[in-house]
A and B are shown apart, each in its own frame.
Chain A
Amino acid sequence: DTGVSQNPRHKITKRGQNVTFRCDPISEHNRLYWYRQTLGQGPEFLTYFQNEAQLEKSRLLSDRFSAERPKGSFSTLEIQRTEQGDSAMYLCASSLQGKNTEAFFGQGTRLTVV
């Protein structure tokens, strides 16, 4: 297992277009997290899955954002009708279930909306 994998690494899109990112967690990890990081800031929580269930969503996750983890393995994050303010690094992390388990991060997908 090579760790948490995110695709694509970079995405440039025109405003108004839809984009979808994929995250493949470490195979035995049942917890999966999405975070967003804008320039000069620390990452901010977007959403959290335990297996296929989406258990937490941040207020940052507007109606244009949707995340899925249909089989409890990989996850997708879709942004519809992208806006320039969506330009950011989107980070995925995974961890085992249990108290105080360590999170492992992917390389991120850098989105630029032009």
Chain B
Amino acid sequence: KNEVEQSPQNLTAQEGEFITINCSYSVGISALHWLQQHPGGGIVSLFMLSSGKKKHGRLIATINIQEKHSSLHITASHPRDSAVYICAPSGAGSYQLTFGKGTKLSVIP
């Protein structure tokens, strides 16, 4: 079973701050999702990456497959970024995702 650890569990930031959320996993994977979940439950896929780095707007995701580690960065954070961010790797040979417990981000104006 892939053990997924996210840090921090909770994060409060001032608007405009640069934010980093980290994810470590224990088993080799083929790809990793970063997901955003707002109150009410709906999940939005932010990134799926299997190597290197991806950027979308103010969001940047990186992954180091050898070190079994991924990070999600938010530049110039905004209160609308307040949500739970979940890391979900998919194992090699398996289609299912394993989810971290999430990082609850609150951005204060």
Q: Footprint of B on A, CB under 8 Å?
A: 31, 33, 35, 37, 40-45, 48, 50, 55-56, 89, 91, 93, 99-108, 110
Contacts and interface: CB of A to CB of B under 8 A. Distances in A.
Contact of B97 (A45, A50, A99, A106): A45
A93 B40 CA distance: 16
B65 interface: no
B86 interface: yes
Interface in B79-105: 86, 88, 90, 95-102
B30 A100 contact: yes
Nearest to B47: A102
A35 B42 CA distance: 12
B99 A108 contact: no
Interface of B: 4, 30-31, 33, 35, 40-45, 48, 50, 86, 88, 90, 95-102
A102 B48 contact: yes
A107 B45 contact: no
Contacts of A100: 30-31, 48, 50, 90
B30 A40 contact: no
B42 A42 contact: no
A41 to B, nearest CB: 6
A43 B30 contact: no
B59 to A, nearest CB: 15
Nearest to A45: B96
B41 A42 contact: no
Contacts of A106: 42
A59 B20 CA distance: 34
A105 B42 contact: yes
A35 B50 CA distance: 22
22 contacts: A33-B95, A35-B97, A35-B99, A41-B101, A42-B4, A42-B100, A42-B101, A43-B88, A44-B99, A45-B98, A48-B95, A55-B95, A89-B41, A93-B43, A99-B30, A100-B48, A101-B48, A102-B33, A102-B45, A103-B48, A103-B97, A105-B42
A33 B86 CA distance: 17
Nearest to A37: B41
